[in-house]
Structure 1
Amino acid sequence: MTTVLILSFGPVQDFIAAARRSRDLWSGSWLLSEVCKAAALALYQEDGVELVFPAADKTDPANLLQPRSALSVANKLQITLAGQPSAARIDKLIQQAQAAAQARLDQLAVETIVNFNARRPNTRLTLNGPLWHKQLLDYLECYAGWATQDEQQDEQPKISYSQAVRHANLALQARKATRGFAQLASHRNAEGFGVPKSSLDGARETVLTPESDTKPDPINAVFRELKLGLNPGEQLDCMGLIKRLAVNAEQFTPVSRIAADSWLRQLPDTEQAGLLTAYEAVYQAGKQLAGMADLLGLASRVTGNSGDYQALPFDGALLYRARLAVAQRELNNLQNKDEPLNALAAALNTLADTLAPIWRAYGEPTPYMAVLQADGDQMGALLEHISSPEHHQQVSQALARFAENAGQVARTYYHGHVIYAGGDDVLALVPLDQARGCADALRQSFARTLAECIKDIQLDLAPTAYPTLSVGLGIGHMQETLNTLRDLAKRAEQLAKGNLGPQPRNALGICLRSRNNAELSLRRRWDDHDGQAALQQWQQGFLQQLLPSRLAHDALALAAAGKRAGHSAAMLEAEFIRLFARTEFRPNPEHIPEGSDKPETPAQARARWQRCLQDRLATLHKQHPSSTCEWASAACELAHELYVSHWLASKTRQDLGELA
């Protein structure tokens, strides 16, 4: 007889989703993993407890579950206990896990204040003490459900292990549906009444008191922005402050650095070296000005992601003409500038002089990037086939291997930064032109890792029942809040899941939100080989400038005009064929036409691309043979493919034209 106990920690919204910057998103994911590791370690150290998820390496699991270890732990823990323990024993285990998680959060809260005081020795942050402690004790939620595998009867269990897991999950869901809510501050004397809300999500009151807003001189006027990343008037609650100050700031990568990465990598070594020198001067000048070990204002150092961004280990915001101009203007507006301020102004001017010829030769970096969110498909069906805790542990270990490998794949091959990877979930920031390739690589890694595990434990699954990975790409502007960008990625992931469609799951979903156009979405299944090949072909065509950028814009405008006019699918497709005929295509010097020993001519290039586009249009038409909705017709689907592919091929602001 075995008892299965499942615990869920949260709330995910407060830990992860409440984010305005990449630091908030990364720190929130890390904090949730840290408290769950503490709970898992407390359970692991109990006699009679077998840790199923996370299934840490058997050689040294206790070490992997230590604070700040490399292991990422999901917010859901699962253990097994021999026999049928009493309700009091199970309740004690739940309380121990919750207490360990709360203790870890309390420890990080203490580190928050210590770190802040150390970074600004002459200033002490004034907190609303009672509200701080009240919120600290109110954040963590822990829910649990359990079920018992029944005794053997006639050599068959009454309730199998997989059924016990399912029953425990159902109990957990029922418990979550009966959660408790703390009483709101409803009268003037209640703690928190009339206090401004946190700027991250508006859910809880700020713990910063009015004394924190004192700005006696121009240097202290930017104090909160430098230290906490806040603009004047913005506020932080307890968890928001922990996110900003309990984690080493250099561990996370700002979205501006992610967005500019592909542009930077195409620069010659001499140009990169000049930028590095000029940016370092700005950082050092600001460091002297602020009197801190790291500057979180004009320039911040980036050392995380295993040093992948060492070509320019800074945030990258000043690589953008508009951001640099604002920094120079604000600095020039300060009165009575002293020597440190003058040194900083000179460093900014030198950086501007260094960037000017680079912008002329290579353009400005694109201000857009992708947030990747992935989730495994059919994992529940897989777990239902597992007949023992040992097999379940093997699946958990396979998921841990995938999560560990996800960061390496994204970093090494696509220069992205994984914010969170735990179980079958991945959240990452990726440069625009690397996003689709990264999504495909993670999909293949997930399928391969799980297939090997299924083979090892000898599960008899139909090919269609094997786990797959649905991936969403949310493409947005780097100055959007991380809340907005993550919501975009979440919608893209839900689009990829396609649970209400005829062919759900195992897909790539893309949601593109530009500042000058309405949001646009595209979904292609991973096993739609023609569709994936088309996206790759269009992206490469735009990347090599063989396809004119005007084609993507004209195709989308034509589709929108057809929708407004109510054109039939056949009429719209005919308009697209005329569009292809009048488009100028560049020949590919590396393409040798069949039967020739010379590179293709402009006429041959036009004929080849027109044939590719018309063949793709015909393929899409077969998928929409009698569409009653013109917006879902083959022509509109092709317009979306071309438009999205054009964005995915963009490295500079000039690549996007007016749409940037």
Structure 2
Amino acid sequence: MSDQTFHFTLGPVQGFVAQARRTRDFWAGSFLLSWLAGAAMLAVKQQGGTIDFPSPDDGYLGWLTGKGSGDTPRQGCIPNRFKAIQCKVPGDFDPVHIEQSVRDAWRALAESVWTRDLRPHDPSADTRAIWERQIDGFWEISWALGEDNSLLDRRKNWRTHLPPVEGGVKCSMMAGWQELSGAVAPGDACLKDFWEGQRKQFPRDFDEGEHLCAIAFIKRRFVGAFAKLSATMPDGWTLHGWQLDGQMPSTLDLAAAHWVAGLDGARSEDLETLRAATENLLDGSDGGLRLLRCVRETRSEVLTRLHSSALFPHVLENRALCQNRDKVKEVRKALKILDCKTPPAPFYAILLMDGDSLGQLLQTDLQAPPKISRALNAFTSAVPELVDQHNGFLIYAGGDDVLALLPLEDALGCATAIRAVYLAAFKEAFGKEGCSTISAAVTFAHVKIPLTRLLRDSHHLLDDIAKDATGRDALAVRVVKSSGEALQWARPWLCALSVEAPEQLTITRLAERFAADESGEAADFSSKFFYRIRERFAFLNPPKGQPDAEAIFDLEQATSLLAVDYLASGVNRGLTLKIQEAEALIRPLLKQCSPVRRYTSDEDKPRRATQVMPMVPQAGIEFYQQPRLEADAALLVRFLAQKGRERS
């Protein structure tokens, strides 16, 4: 019996991870998907298979067998898709056991949650029927045996998985799935009775008006049942869970992190007054701020326990949430005592990163798999510390994928640092540069925007904008305000990084120059200048609807014209800047406003574009700049400098 290659995938990935109402739901989906993929890997190894790509983290897999050591894993680190080699077929290796192991693991977890949280409340037969139908019908598992790398995709195209038909009232988190009470219509008494009972039992876990299906219920409540989980798998081995800390920073914690850290040094009595007032208003904090380094390093118990939601005006003004207006006054009074003139900016960041064209590298280099696995293991082991250093919370780092939540101030720096580690890992593994690149998408989002929508849009930003539209090895940034998308900017990494400081983005350095520094010195750019920039660009650009038309002015002429406008915007403040000095300030901004795309040597190049040289030339790669200016880069500079606050 000869060795064959076993291919396996588990999904739906986005249908499970991205449908989330809280950061905790987001994390739970990613964690559980990785845990189930780990169960599949262990099932392969139990039958004598060895994982070729990606190389599994044996430390993580040890926890699944109850033999883990050191810190318990908190983030997912195993991709949902892998292939294994050295699997004897047909006698010694049974692919069905791999699928069955995943389904048994999921059922065991589901039953643990049911036994702990639902059975004590004597649920109806309808609730149990919904639970079993959804647990059995959710996962789509595909596998194939053979050497052809396209086998798995062809197998998935059969579309043999049919989700169950769902009636009744639908889940608040997972679109299309029935909630658990079995209510036929929203006004049914059983709907209210069932979920009021859950809210009474678990007041922090279920919001008013929230109704969940079985899958969403498990995501929300599995942490409490995970530590005692033990399930026998088809090949006789035992799968385990472990003790988990289910505490997560909220989106409001992320938005407020640096603002809260800035309170360090204030009088302890005043800080305690603020903490007590916020807790009295909103029933205490869940402690999510302590997970963010900038707050944690203050070593202030009061600050780590602050209820960040009560720091935002839109929350205090919400009379449904803050019904006791006297308590709201106490919070505002405490903020005034601390001389907090400006509230936290209501924005945080979602960072999504993914390696470029690894599949192509695997197909063109037969010696690549072990090198790629070595590079990815080094990369993923470094990511958690990098995210923590940038005051963020890591959701997932596995294979060539990264997903993290960060404060607005840290997201672009974190993306830049992660890219540097990725490139270094591949250079070390292959002994040369340029073997693989990584693209990133950063979404700066208002805290009011639903997470599910943002996660879906982040994947579009990464796949369609950073990779397809910008040519890969690129960064794409989007700002989503409460009123909708405000701006979008993308650029190849090698044209976005600063020549003077390669560890920084030019756009970040420009934002620092726009913002007034701590000593109160004047900024290099005025808000008035940015406010009028769309109008100025419309004048300088080729006519609309004529993509092949030449620009009215070239970049140097546009720089001179905008330098005059810049000097008229009030930046001098009594000083006298010469036109040449103004041009020196404007030039790097306009370069970031000129769209650039990365091309491989065999791709067709645009007719009117101009080839530009990146900071580091690459063999077989060319960069072309379009003859127009886009205001979104300049508006991003203003957004970053003002941290999302609007001011004149």
How does the TM-score come out when normalised to structure 2?
Answer: 0.77
Offset of 1:565 from its aligned partner? 8.2
2:31 matched residue in structure 1: 30
Which of 360, 363, 377 matches 2:342?
363
2:155 matched residue in structure 1: 175
1:145 matched residue in structure 2: 144
Bigger fraction of residues in helix:
1
User: CA 1:277–1:224 in 2, change beyond 3 Å: closer, same or farther?
Assistant: same
User: CA 1:622–1:306 in 2, change beyond 3 Å: closer, same or farther?
Assistant: closer
- Of 473-482 and 552-561, the range deviating more from structure 2: 552-561
Which of 404, 409, 413 matches 1:437?
413
User: CA 1:254–1:564 in 2, change beyond 3 Å: closer, same or farther?
Assistant: farther
How many pairs align? 568
2:171 matched residue in structure 1: 198
2:324 aligned counterpart, secondary structure = helix
1:534 matched residue in structure 2: 506
Offset of 1:315 from its aligned partner? 5.6
1:406 matched residue in structure 2: 383
2:647 matched residue in structure 1: 657
User: CA 1:276–1:407 in 2, change beyond 3 Å: closer, same or farther?
Assistant: farther
Task: Determine the C-alpha separation between the residues in 2 that align with 1:239 and 1:424.
Answer: 27
Paired residue type of 1:446: Y
Offset of 1:618 from its aligned partner? 6.9
1:49 matched residue in structure 2: 49
Which of 505, 527, 531 matches 1:549?
527
1:656 aligned counterpart, secondary structure = coil
User: CA 1:517–1:206 in 2, change beyond 3 Å: closer, same or farther?
Assistant: closer
Paired residue type of 1:602: L
Offset of 1:555 from its aligned partner? 1.4
Task: Determine the C-alpha separation between the residues in 1 that align with 2:467 and 2:308.
Answer: 36
Q: Is the 8 A contact 2:491 2:595 kept in 1?
A: no
Q: Is the 8 A contact 1:250 1:301 kept in 2?
A: no
1:331 aligned counterpart, secondary structure = coil
Q: Identity, % of aligned pairs? A: 21
Matches within 5 A, 1:481-520: 481-499=450-468, 504-516=471-483, 518-520=485-487
User: CA 1:182–1:377 in 2, change beyond 3 Å: closer, same or farther?
Assistant: closer
1:381 matched residue in structure 2: 360
- Give deviations 1:190-249, integer Å, cap 9, x for gaps: xx43x01112242211113456644699x98975993434342x4211111111111367
Task: Determine the C-alpha separation between the residues in 2 that align with 1:281 and 1:317.
Answer: 12
1:295 matched residue in structure 2: none
Q: Is the 8 A contact 1:38 1:65 kept in 2?
A: no
User: CA 1:212–1:321 in 2, change beyond 3 Å: closer, same or farther?
Assistant: farther
Paired residue type of 2:629: C
For structure 1, the residue ranges without an aligned partner over 5 or more in a row are 148-163, 186-191, 288-297, 334-344, 456-460, 588-600
2:634 matched residue in structure 1: 642
Offset of 1:41 from its aligned partner? 1.8
1:339 matched residue in structure 2: none
Which of 307, 318, 331 matches 2:323?
331
Task: Determine the C-alpha separation between the residues in 1 that align with 2:86 and 2:145.
Answer: 10
1:525 matched residue in structure 2: 492
Task: Determine the C-alpha separation between the residues in 1 that align with 2:359 and 2:311.
Answer: 46
Offset of 1:145 from its aligned partner? 2.1
Offset of 1:264 from its aligned partner? 2.1
- Of 72-81 and 489-498, the range deviating more from structure 2: 489-498
Which of 299, 303, 310 matches 1:318?
310
1:178 aligned counterpart, secondary structure = coil
Matched, 1:300 2:286: yes
User: CA 1:328–1:619 in 2, change beyond 3 Å: closer, same or farther?
Assistant: closer
Offset of 1:550 from its aligned partner? 3.0
Offset of 1:135 from its aligned partner? 0.4
Task: Determine the C-alpha separation between the residues in 2 that align with 1:109 and 1:304.
Answer: 30
1:152 matched residue in structure 2: none
1:421 aligned counterpart, secondary structure = strand
Matched, 1:80 2:56: no
Matched, 1:583 2:569: yes
- Give deviations 1:540-590, integer Å, cap 9, x for gaps: 113334422333222135446878985984369476344213122268xxx
Paired residue type of 1:552: F
Matched, 1:424 2:391: no
Task: Determine the C-alpha separation between the residues in 1 that align with 2:111 and 2:156.
Answer: 30
Task: Determine the C-alpha separation between the residues in 2 that align with 1:206 and 1:622.
Answer: 47
Paired residue type of 1:382: L
Root mean square deviation, CA, Å: 3.9
1:570 aligned counterpart, secondary structure = coil
Task: Determine the C-alpha separation between the residues in 1 that align with 2:272 and 2:364.
Answer: 55
Offset of 1:173 from its aligned partner? 0.2
Offset of 1:96 from its aligned partner? 1.9
Task: Determine the C-alpha separation between the residues in 1 that align with 2:20 and 2:60.
Answer: 34
User: CA 1:300–1:616 in 2, change beyond 3 Å: closer, same or farther?
Assistant: closer
- Give deviations 1:47-71, integer Å, cap 9, x for gaps: x211234424568953476596356
User: CA 1:406–1:197 in 2, change beyond 3 Å: closer, same or farther?
Assistant: same
Task: Determine the C-alpha separation between the residues in 2 that align with 1:493 and 1:537.
Answer: 23
Task: Determine the C-alpha separation between the residues in 2 that align with 1:314 and 1:108.
Answer: 33
User: CA 1:18–1:221 in 2, change beyond 3 Å: closer, same or farther?
Assistant: closer
Q: Is the 8 A contact 2:511 2:640 kept in 1?
A: yes
1:596 matched residue in structure 2: none
Q: Is the 8 A contact 1:264 1:272 kept in 2?
A: no
2:475 aligned counterpart, secondary structure = strand
Q: Is the 8 A contact 1:224 1:230 kept in 2?
A: no
Q: Is the 8 A contact 2:142 2:155 kept in 1?
A: yes
- Give deviations 1:226-276, integer Å, cap 9, x for gaps: 3434342x4211111111111367432211111111222333421688446
User: CA 1:408–1:183 in 2, change beyond 3 Å: closer, same or farther?
Assistant: closer
Paired residue type of 1:547: F
Paired residue type of 1:205: Q
Q: Is the 8 A contact 2:564 2:579 kept in 1?
A: no
User: CA 1:612–1:183 in 2, change beyond 3 Å: closer, same or farther?
Assistant: closer
Paired residue type of 1:548: S
